[in-house]
Amino acid sequence: MTRQLAARAYRDEDGWWTIEIPELTSPSPTGGTIIATGAATTFRGIEKAAHELAAAWLDDDSVTVEVDVVIPEDVAQLWKDSTAAEEAAREQQARAATLRRDAVRALRAQGYPAEAAAAALGISRQRIDQLGKSAPVRTSKLAS
């Protein structure tokens, strides 16, 4: 059976990629723990370097390694914030669409002809028809 390991890779200040495999450790002379660590000069070289590191450490070339790229916390937070902002924007857009439909339906219920409603709202008569007939749009969480 092939052993599977998890590794993490992150970019160093000097532009190299450091690869660590936390499952592979050995005791240090001072009593600490040494984690299997390697490097790659390019992002494309990470997978190969991680495999070579694990294979050398275990003396088993059949090992497989899945590498997670680790980014700085501040950048990860920016991404998380952007995802939340995007979801909030989707919700606001859905609310705006509901309000537009409500406005068109209210004008039509008050007897405004489609042409008059279109002129008052600055949209086409066809759009008045679409908004007047459309069902509310359901928002769903989309995978990013």
Q: Count CB neighbours of 125 within 10 A.
A: 14
Q: What is the mean pLDDT of residues 54-63?
A: 96
Percent of the chain surpassing pLDDT 70: 93
Query: For 78-123, how does the pLDDT look when each residue is reduced to its tens digit (9 = 90+)?
Result: 999 999 999 999 999 999 999 999 999 999 999 999 999 999 999 9
Please tell me whether the overall predicted TM-score, pTM, comes out greater than 0.85 for this model: no
Strands lying side by side in the sheet with 17-27? 33-40, 17-27, 4-11, 64-69
Average pLDDT, the chain: 93
Measured at the alpha carbon of residue 18, what is the angle toward residues 10 and 27, in degrees to the nearest 5?
120
Per-residue pLDDT at 117: 95
Q: Which of 37, 39, 48, 45 is nearest to 14 (CA)?
A: 39
Q: What pLDDT is stored for residue 1 in this prediction?
A: 78
Lookup result for tokens 């088993």: 60
Long-range contacts, stretch 89-92, CB < 8 angstroms, 24+ apart? 90/139, 91/139
Give the HSE-up count for residue 41: Cα atoms under 13 Å, Cβ half-sphere: 0
Reported as a single tens digit per residue, the pLDDT across 129-139 is 999 987 555 54
Confidence class of residue 143 from pLDDT cuts 50, 70 and 90?
very low
